Structure 1
């Protein structure tokens, strides 16, 4: 009797595992988070150096005018810096996910991956447009918190189609963004904490929980 019950439980576990694999993209690697966090911190360090290097830019943010912002060399440097961080993070995530998917004999671009990409891209694109508007309008102090909040919403929204633990990173990013709204003047450090440190911590936890056991 006990043997039959155990067999049924094993069968149910296998069925559940197969259903999860077909409905969720589970090839995300914790190493992707670690590298993304490292890229973010390196990019932040470069921006910090640039801010010191361009002595003529060391004036209060409120003194910048929207018309001058796009012509400002430091802001242009930061835009290029952020774009490089994004590209490196995406490429690295793709490489590690492809390796993990190949190891599990799964497709890197199946329906679950497509659903994940769509649900991740919509909030991210919305947040990106909003951040650009804030930049053009001269509301620099709101850029970092808005990036954190929209990124957190994107992760939480996409968590239904991938490893569920990612929702906790999303909630953390949202919380940091909301706190930053009320603690102005520290956007750079909140950005480093959210996109750098938290990514590394999340990546390490996910690597130990899923990748190292695989």
Structure 2
């Protein structure tokens, strides 16, 4: 029995050594591969993430601006269609589109009648913060465009829900759109912000 065992060991010793070497080589190879993958992953961690975050932030801002512009244009088209259907011409009794956009006498009457100036003053600090945070190049053109787009598309950034509700009720009674009222707020915001820069 011992002789047979010795024969099997001698016969298969070469194969056993080969298998052991192959197993050790595979283990070393897998260890090396795992180590290389770990190093690559660590290199990704060491990349300047701040620059990637800045780029991603720029893309997010661009997408947000594009989305706001599209929504603004949609609301303007909707407003124009309603005005056209009601009066067969596109007019806005509260603002006039002479450069720059300005508030008409009828618009100032509405401001006094609804107390829109008090609503505006109450919300001015957050409106100013909104403009400060989103306009880098503080020129009149960008401030005007930002105020009009944001006020029309996101009225809740300029007034409280209760105040917007007052404007909606008045718009309904007079057959107008909320856009007409929010353009007045936009002009007030633009003018006050430009004054605060002087």
TM tier, smaller: 0.3 to 0.5
TM (normalized to structure 1)? 0.32
The higher relative CO (CA closer than 8 Å, separation ≥ 6) is in 1
Higher-Rg structure is: 2
